[in-house]
Every structure is written in C-alpha cells, then in structure tokens.
Structure 1
Amino acid sequence: MAVAGAAGGGFAAAGCGAETSAESITLRMVAADYGDPRRGNSTQGYWDALVRQFNQRYPGIAVDVTVHSWKDVDRTVAGMVAAGRAPDIAQIGSYADFAADGKLYSVDELLSIPVQADLLSGLADAGKVERVQYGLPFAASTRLLFYNRTLFAKAGLDPAKPPRNWHQLARAARRLKAAGVRIPYGLPLGTEEAPAEALMWMLGGGGGYTDKAGTWTIDAPANIRTFDWVRENLVDRGLTNPSPGSTDRQELFDAFTSGRVGMLNGHPKLMKEAAASGVKYGTAVLPGDEGPADTTLGVADWIMAFKQGGRREEAGRFLEFVFEEKNHYTFVDRYDLLPVTTSANERMREAPEHKPLRRFQDQLPGAEFYPVGKVSWARVSGELKSSVGGVLARGADPASVLGGIQRKAESEEAAARTR
C-alpha cells in the first residue's frame, strides 16, 4: 500500500508549486498489478514512487494505492461499489457498467483540454458510453504470433517464413510435433486469457464478438466455423497444450521462454521474457483463415474516477499527473506496454531500445478492441472467462457453447437497458 500526504496542504493549479492549508484529503485508489511478484517488479513500486512525487507538488492530497492481481482487481472494485465503498479512482479492465449507473465522473469533468487532446483518439473514443467519455485508457497492447526460431529450424521449417494462414499454421504445428516439440501451438483459453485468445481466433476467421452496429454475434456462423477448425485441426490432433480450456497465458509464456512451445499469440511483454531466457524468437502478423488476419486484438486497460467520495478536483489533479509524459512513459517503458498518449507514443517510437515494439505500435490504430463501451461487457467478459474454454473440450459442440454465451450476453444487454 502506498500512502503520500502531509497535514497541511492546499490545492495548487496543475504544474504550479504547492501551497498549504489546514487539512489533508486522502484519495483511495485500487490498481491492477502488471508486474510479476515472483520477480520483485510489482506495480506497487511504480505507484509508491509516483505518489511520493505527486505529494511534493500537492502535499495536501494524500493518495492511498492498493494493488491487486488482474485475476482479482475487477471483482474487488465491483464488490467495493456494491457495498457502497467505491474507491475514488480505479484502474481496472472495464468501466461502462459503472458509467451507465451514473457512478463515474466524465473525463471532461476531470482533465484539462490539453491533457484530453494528448490521448490517442481511437482509444479515447473506446472510452465512451453514449458519446460521453468516462473511461481513460491507461495502457495498451496489441498481439502478434510469436514463434521459436530454433525449434522451427529443428523441424525443417524456414525461420524466415512464419505461417501466414491457418493451413500453414497447422502444417508447421505437425512438423514441430514430429520433431519432438512438446507444445507445437500454445492455446490459452483458461480464465486469464480466454476473452483475448478467443477473439483473436474469431478475427482470423472473419468474425468477432459484435457486428459493426454493436450487436452481440458470439455464436455467429463464422465463429462456430473457427472453433470447429481449431478443434479438428489442432486440438484433436494433439498439436496444442493438453487442456486449452484450463490453461492460463502465463503458464504458456513460461513454457515458451523455456523452449517448450513452438508458436503462440503474445503481447510485447513476452519479448523481454523470451530475450532474458535466451530464446531466439520471431514475430508475425496473426494468421487468418485464408491469409494474414485483417486486424489483430488491441487491449486497453482503463482508469476512472468515482463520484461517491465527491473528490472530483483532487482526483482530476492526480490523473493529470499520471498522464504527464514522463510519468506515463515511465510506466509503459517499465512494463513493456504501448502508450496511450501521443507524446509518450512518439517518444517510444524514437527510442532505439524500443525498436522491437514498433510493429506492435503500427498495429494499434487498426486493432480491434473489446466492446468495452457496452454496459454488458463486464459481465459478458466474465462469462467468456468461465465458459468459452469449453468450446474445445472433448465432445463439446462449439455451436452449443457459443450459443449459451450469446444468450447470456443478450440477457445482460437487455437487463442493462432497463436500469
């Protein structure tokens, strides 16, 4: 837990020197952990340092930050809100249901126009409900296909020619298996990565979670065909990890960095982990049904301010500090994420040490994001985490599994409209 504050501190204008007053106000914030506690790089350290810097400018605003794992943080904040103890600020995976219930400040109530203008426009738009922005993008990532170049060479595959379509991917997986590779293709449909991995495959097959009008299409024919293909051509042939529906992403990332996985979809963090382990890897655009996928998955995490405590001004000042170029860049640089502001994005693109990230950055403007602006998304995401892995279970019918999730999504959407 990070606490900064001093008795006696007034509110200075953003960027100005601190003044003093009689009382200190404490902001309570809940945040997600992007680090790996096993390696001693928990996000708590970032917030500890940032809060100390913020308090030098605003000694009258204390900030109490509590960091939770990604598996727990959304549920923790939802429980706090339900119990009438909403944090002042939350940095989590979704915002729309809170916005629809009137619990959040809008972004223009919190940030000055220059700070708002620095946000990447596509991500800012993704933070809107009914054309009003409530969610602030906090960090972003896109996905590429990672493959082990050494294992490719061992299997007689050209490391300079990664698979461009599903047929080539299945062929490469068969060659890898024949060469003794334990997991030719890593498929994490466990709770940690299920919504992401599932959507990447759907996009490659010409489907997705919603259509252009925003209507749920989880059980669309294209999505059913996609998972029929994955089951028949990868899972049933033993070309993936044994139980995709119960396998989490980090488990497969660890296996990739130890040289036991031939291919898997990954985000920028995997580059550093693989390089640190001495794995020679390559990256490629996600393969699609007939050729490279038209788009890839884009993921943005969100930060928001709750109205309950009535600390709009103080929350806005802290959020403006969070998005200052040096502070935002420090965070994304430390955790191998993509910036959500123009200023930090340009700085990263110009940094020679971040040249490997440019391919991910190039994909960001055209990436497909989760439908986070739908009020029902938080609950549908939870249903995907718990259920979509069953689409590849032995004897399962993808149409039946996806149809069940579709009905749940439609029910949640109808309930949201009657709030």
Structure 2
Amino acid sequence: MDRRWAVVAVVTATTALSLAACGSSGGGAGGSTNTLSLVAADYGTGPANSSQKYWQGIADDFHKANSKITVKVKTVNWNDFDNQIQTAVQNHQQPDITEGDYFANYAQEGLLYKASDVLTKTDNLVPVFANLGSYKGTQYGIPFTTSSRTLFYNKKLFTQAGISSAPQTWNDVKADAVKIKALGKIGFGLPLGSEEAQAETLLWTLGNGGGFTDKSGAYTIDSPQNVETFNFLKDLVKSGATEPNPGTKNRTDLWKQFAQGGIGMINGSPALIPIIESGKVLGASDWTSVPIAGKTGPLSSTLGVCDFTAAFKNGGTKKQAAIKAFLDFAYQDKYQVQFDKEYSLLPATTSALNALSSNTTFAPFLKALPHAVQYPSDTGWAAVKTQIQQTIGTAVNGDPKKVLSTIQATAKKGS
C-alpha cells in the first residue's frame, strides 16, 4: 500500500541493524518463546505522538496482564519501513510481528502465520479490508488501521459565495467552484501531481460508474465512462475554477492551501483534519466533510486503504500462542479508537467502528468505510500507478482519450 494518507513520520529507528537487533535479542527469528519483537511504522509527527509511545503503552499494559511474556517495541519511519522489513527478512532476522505495509510474497514464501492462527476474533475485522490481506484465498495480513475519502468544503467561503448546501453532483461542483472563484479563491483543489494522482483519478472515475478495473479485474482505464470523466475535468480546469496546471499540484500542498482558507472544496482523508487544526485559520465550525459528489449524485462507495499487522513463523506453538495473546490484547476497541484519534485514521474492526459512530468528525468517513473500493492488487498495478502519477495531469490539458489509452496499454501489458 502506498503512503497515500499517513501523516509525515519521524525516524525512530533508522537502520536495518535495529531490526536485526530486535530479532537477535530474543524476539524474532526463533528467539525466546516468551519474548516477542514488534516492528511498527511510525505515523506520528514528532516525539510527543510517535507510534513508539502508542505501542509501548500497549506493551506496558499487556505486561501487567501477562507477566511471563515480554514485548519489545521498535518503530520505523514509514518511508523506510518496507525496505527495513525486507532487509530483516533477507538476513533471517525478521521480527515476530509487524504493523505497516503487507507483502504477499512473505505469505507466498510460507513465512507468515494465517490470521486465524494468531487472532481470535477475525470475524470482527471490517470484511472489505480483511479480504485484502488474503493470499490464494487464505488471510495472512490483518488490517489494523484504515482510511476513506470524502469531500471537504469551506463553509465560510460557501456562505460568502451564496451557496446554501453541499454539492451533490458534478454540475453542482462546477457551479459552486465558479462562484468561489469569483471571490478570488480556488474553487476546487484538483491534485493530479505525482504524489497521489491515482487516488484523485479513482475518486472521479467512480463518480461516473467507472474505475480502474471491471468486476472481473480487467483494466478499463480508457473506458467511455472514464473518458467522459476527464472531459468534464478538462472543462472544469478550463473554466478557471481549479488551480492552474493540476498535473503539477500535489495533494499535501493543496491540503495546506485548503487549511489556510484558499480553496473552497477538495477531496480528502482524515489525515487532512490535523493539517486544518495546525493551520489555525479554519475553526471547527468553518469546514465540514460530506460524501464525494458524483455525476448524478453522491458516491455510495469511495476509495479506502488500510495497513496490516502480520505475524512471522519464528518459533513453535508457544511463540504462536504468545503472539496470539498479544494481538488479541492489542486489537481491543480502546486501543483501536486511541490510535485513530491520535493519528486521524479509522479502525479496522467492526466493534471499534461502532464505538466511534457518535463522533461527528469521523462520521462521513465511517459511513463510507464498509463499502470502500481499493486499488488493483495485481502485479501490473505498480507500473500503472507510476504512469498515472506521471501523466494523468496532461489529460486535463490535452486529449483525455489518448492519455487514458496509453495508460491502458501499459495495464494490459502488465496484467
């Protein structure tokens, strides 16, 4: 999974040697059956809210209830996480438990426990994400944190522009964006730059009954629906209602502009919320988020992503039992909710979703989560994603059909 939505992380463990040390200290690669090593991605913005603090808190609570098992915690900058875990595996020093990205090749190589071997309540996991952790029909990756997308809009700008309600359709979006443009602001932020163009593309194509693939998994990037979508976006850009040259604008930069009150509408995830709060320009009553507008009405499904825990087969049945005891403990609602509130993300369990149901800030995201659409998972997706990131922005300034067909050719070649 891409780091499409996590808050920028800080380095709390910087070398693969730290992972090797974690393994050799008794936790990983077959060490003491009573000592577990956990390596997690860091979602924090600094020492005050680093993921090290979060996971160490769970470990300390666990030790009080399970005095015979010790959990040693390491957290790693998100951008370094994948490489460090891969290096640790290559050196046969993999930790017992990881939380971050999920690699199907570890399951393919027979290195991971099945989810049901190390977590009691697998039926409590949000099904749409639990299925993503499967390899050849068996679940290995256990979703731990999730996210979905909604439409954020500036209520102050809407009022100033004489707009009384949230946009429901594309025509509403254009009409509202033009009115906000007249105020000297950007009507709609359209980030089609390299950071996360694939997300913005998918959100808009879903609004017209399109997407990257059909129900069989075959790529449909240059479908008539998708071409129509980008013709609409081309017209929206031509109207001046977006920022100039969307293909050069990244999501994070436009999110910051929204937080400063310079943009009327933008698609976003819960990770936009702390950016708004830290900007100290928009108060809680100055913005809100709603389902994303589609061609004829709001989307009933939206983009959803998640990160996983995984457990490596580093020991026998006693080590497996210790891992299960810890994961059962860590997946309690109170820890799921704590994580989500600290990092503005969403839960991966149905019971935690219910526990957050009264949270008005998260409500639009929570409603969309069970019906979330994910990126393709085939081996050709990496090349397709890269090409979308590099070229999709040209579709709103040139020939949408030509651009989409070129990406489709890459998709067919790799699938």
Q: What TM-score, normalized to structure 1?
A: 0.79
> In structure 1, what residue type is equivalent to 2:171?
H
Closer/same/farther in 2, CA of residues 312 and 251 from structure 1, 3 Å limit: farther
Match of 1:13 in 2: none
- 1:235 aligns to what? 237
Percent of aligned positions with the same letter in both sequences? 36
- Note if 1:36 corresponds to 2:40: no
Query: Which of 205, 213, 218 is residue 221 of structure 2 equivalent to?
Result: 218
Find 2:352's aligned residue among 344, 355, 358: 344
Query: Structure 2: where are the runs of 5+ without partners?
Result: 1-11
Are the equivalent residues in 2 in contact too, given 1:110–1:312 (CA < 8 A)? yes
Residues 246 and 389 in structure 1, CA contact (< 8 A), matched pair in contact too: no
Counterpart for residue 27 of structure 1: 37
Instruction: Give the Å deviation of 1:395.
Output: 5.2
Counterpart Cα distance in 2 of 1:9 and 1:103: 18
**1:113-262 map, 5 Å:** 115-158=121-164, 161-181=165-185, 183-230=186-233, 232-262=234-264
The answer to whether the Cα contact below 8 Å between 1:189 and 1:388 also exists between their aligned partners in 2 is yes
1:302 to 308, 313, 317: 308
> In the superposition, relative to structure 1, how do residues 228 and 306 fare at CA in structure 2: closer, same or farther (>3 Å)?
farther
Q: Is the 1:25–1:61 Cα contact (8 Å) retained in structure 2? A: yes
Contact 1:188 1:247 in 2 (8 A): yes
Contact 2:227-2:404 at 8 Å conserved across structures: yes
How many matched pairs? 386
Structure 2 residue matching 1:202: 3-state secondary structure: helix
Contact 1:205/1:226 (<8 A) preserved: yes
Deviation, structure 1 residue 110 = 1.6
CA displacement at 1:186 relative to structure 2: 1.3
Is residue 365 of structure 1 aligned with residue 366 of structure 2? no
Matched residue type, 1:215: A
Kept after mapping to 2: 8 A contact 1:199/1:208: yes
Q: 1:262 Cα deviation (Å)?
A: 0.8
Shift of 1:261: 1.1
Shift of 1:93: 3.9
**3-state SS in 2 of match to 1:201:** helix
Verify: 1:105 aligned to 2:113, yes or no.
yes
Q: CA deviation at 1:97?
A: 4.4
Q: CA deviation at 1:26?
A: 4.7
- In structure 2, C-alpha distance between the alignment counterparts of 1:396 and 1:261, rounded to whole Å: 24
Preserved CA contact (<8 Å) 1:192 1:385: no
Q: Cα distance 1:248–1:325, how it changes in 2: closer, same or farther (>3 A)? A: same
- Aligned partner of residue 369 in structure 1, secondary structure: coil
- In 1, distance between residues paired with 2:344 and 2:75? 22
Question: How far 1:259 sits from its partner (Å)?
Answer: 0.5
SS of 2:346's equivalent? coil
Partner AA of 2:388 in structure 1: S
The one of 338, 342, 361 equivalent to 1:334 is 342
Q: How much has 1:273 moved relative to structure 2?
A: 4.3
Deviation at 1:58, TM superposition (A): 4.8
Residues 384, 46 of structure 1: alpha-carbon distance in 2 compared, 3 angstrom cutoff: same
User: Equivalent residue of 1:368, what SS?
Assistant: coil
Q: CA RMSD of the aligned region, Å?
A: 3.4
